[in-house]
Amino acid sequence: MITDYFRPQTLDEALTLLARPNTIPLGGGTLLSAPTSDPVSVVDLQALGLDSINKKGSALEIGATVTLQQLLESKHCPEALKIAIKLEAPLNIRNSATVAGTLVACDGRSTFATSLLALDAKLTIVNRQSETLAPDASAGVVNLGEFLPLRPRGLITSITIPLNTKFAFEYVSRTPADKPIVCAALTQWSSGRARLTLGGYGKSPMLAMDGTEAEGLDAAARNAYHEANDEWASAEYRMDVAATLAKRCLESFSA
Ligand SMILES: Cc1cc2nc3c(=O)[nH]c(=O)nc-3n(C[C@H](O)[C@H](O)[C@H](O)COP(=O)(O)OP(=O)(O)OC[C@H]3O[C@@H](n4cnc5c(N)ncnc54)[C@H](O)[C@@H]3O)c2cc1C
């Protein structure tokens, strides 16, 4: 239950409000507006100007309050990422849900988080106490892979993904519009580095492989999902599908 609502006009004001107890950022509010018994104060981020998408060299900097639909419609959005965004949520939700809120609230079935994990997305996070949550001094930047297991408090201001990579996304779901039972995302850098992630199961998407070449994708996909058993599918099924999807991702690079 939202007990207090603030709409600061500056980042500084927002950080001051967020330092109060039991006070959290409000992105699109699609999750936070759901009724709960726990009282919470929210800081609406919509007036902070964090809603732009900027190509900076070979990277795309996505403001935290950019909606999923805005990103989907951006000319800079990689084609395979558009497929993953469409699967994340229906249009009405995509029009409100922000990129940062979606990552903070994601579970393993999130196609968006699975894709951004493969792209090795970087989050810029700030807070009032330390000004930065980063483990090093490099401007409060945390890899999504480090962020997801802990989901530390703090205000995400932007998310950065590389554009100079090959990126593929493949999935299997019960119907074309359902969230996948298994999905795979693969990024390949010009250096040969390949990063494979899997989604469709568990509390967070999973990193299956991050190596200097794409050898061993099949085994990595199988290993990552060897315990991926739930009411939607058996681990055995997911292992087979994950290996096939990983192979398809790789093949799409040479198509
Ligand atoms: C009908 C419906 C269906 C849904 N289906 C799904 C689903 O299938 N899977 C799913 O995972 N979710 C689902 N959701 C939940 C929700 O839509 C998503 O999690 C959504 O993407 C959250 O984004 P948001 O911007 O609306 O976040 P909000 O609701 O505003 O916030 C979500 C969380 O993120 C935090 N947050 C937001 N912005 C920031 C920021 N900049 N920095 C730090 N923290 C921040 C908030 O404090 C909060 O903890 C559904 C919701 C609805 C209403």
Question: What is the pTM (predicted TM-score) of this model?
Answer: 0.94
Res 116 pLDDT > 70? yes
Q: For residue 207, which of 253, 149, 130 has the smallest C-alpha distance? A: 149
Amino acid present at 160: T
The alpha carbon of 97 and the centre of ligand 1 are apart by a number of angstroms equal to 6
The alpha carbon of 201 and the centre of ligand 1 are apart by a number of angstroms equal to 18
Query: Which numbered atom of ligand 1 lies nearest the CA of 102?
Result: 21
Query: Which numbered atom of ligand 1 lies nearest the CA of 33?
Result: 29
The alpha carbon of 33 and the centre of ligand 1 are apart by a number of angstroms equal to 9
CA 143 to chain centre: 11
More confidently predicted of 226 and 214: 226
The alpha carbon of 103 and the centre of ligand 1 are apart by a number of angstroms equal to 8
**Edge-to-edge strand list for the sheet holding 23-26:** 2-6, 40-44, 23-26
Q: For residue 203, which of 107, 88, 118 has the smallest C-alpha distance? A: 107
Please write the tens of the pLDDT for every residue from 153-200: 899 999 999 999 999 999 999 988 889 999 999 999 999 999 999 999
Which residue lies with its CA nearest to atom 7 of ligand 1?
89
Query: Which numbered atom of ligand 1 lies nearest the CA of 27?
Result: 30
Res 97 pLDDT > 60? yes
CB atoms within 10 A of CB 223: 15
| Ligand 1 site residues, Cβ closer than 6 angstroms | 24-32, 45, 64, 89, 93, 96-98, 100-102, 104-107, 110, 155-156, 179
What gap in Å lies between CA 140 and CA 230, rounded to an integer?
36
Crossing angle for the helix pair 217-224 and 235-254, to the nearest 10 degrees = 150
Q: Virtual CA dihedral for 11, 17, 18, 21, nearest 10 degrees?
A: 170
The alpha carbon of 46 and the centre of ligand 1 are apart by a number of angstroms equal to 14
Res 228 pLDDT > 90? yes
What gap in Å lies between CA 241 and CA 222, rounded to an integer?
9
Bridge partners, residue 67, by sequence: 98
Query: Which numbered atom of ligand 1 lies nearest the CA of 155?
Result: 42
Residue to mutate (ligand 1; options 11, 18, 30; most atoms within 8 A of CB): 30
CB atoms within 10 A of CB 233: 18
Please write the tens of the pLDDT for every residue from 35-64: 888 899 999 999 999 999 999 999 999 999
Which residue lies with its CA nearest to atom 16 of ligand 1?
31
What gap in Å lies between CA 24 and CA 102, rounded to an integer?
15
What gap in Å lies between CA 176 and CA 52, rounded to an integer?
30
The pLDDT assigned to 129 comes to 59
pLDDT-based confidence at 72, cuts 50/70/90?
very high
Q: What DSSP line would sit under 61-130, residue for residue?
A: EEETT-BHHHHHH-TTS-HHHHHHHHHHS-HHHHHH-BHHHHHHH--TT-HHHHHHHHTT-EEEEE-TTT
Task: Supply the mean pLDDT for the chain.
Answer: 93
Contacting residues for 84 by C-beta, under 8 A, at least 6 apart: 111, 112, 114, 115, 169, 183, 185
